[in-house]
Amino acid sequence: MFISPAFAQGAIGGAEGNFLLNIMPFLLIFVIMYFLVIRPQQKRLKSHREMVGGVRRGDTIVTSGGLIGKITKVVDETEVEVQIADNVRVRVARAMINEVRAKGEPVANDA
């Protein structure tokens, strides 16, 4: 006949919160992450694709490994041939091109 105080307090707490209010912080975090991380990364990826897709013979490039050279031949969709020194030509994957310099722009330390 007597109800223990522990049982009486447990019945009051329950799951009375609104589901939308409970999930709102997670949605807010996702929106913030989208604008701070995902969207800028997509923009950088798009600009890199356009830059790499527009390379042509004679362009001076910098690879992600730090090699600076001039494109001598476009081998196929994924590779280019780059001259890095006199009579030294290497094939480089287009994805490894980090920077494309304008035609005629001198290579650093080249006089």
Q: Indicate the domain borders of the chain.
A: 18-53, 56-101
Q: Are the C-beta atoms of residues 84 and 71 closer than 8 Å to each other?
A: no
CB 81 within 8 A of CB 97: no
Domain 56-101 indexed as CATH 2.30.30.100: yes
- For residue range 46-95, what is the model confidence (pLDDT) as tens digits? 999 999 988 888 999 999 999 999 999 988 889 999 999 999 999 999 99
pTM for the full model?
Answer: 0.64
Max CA-CA distance within the chain? 100
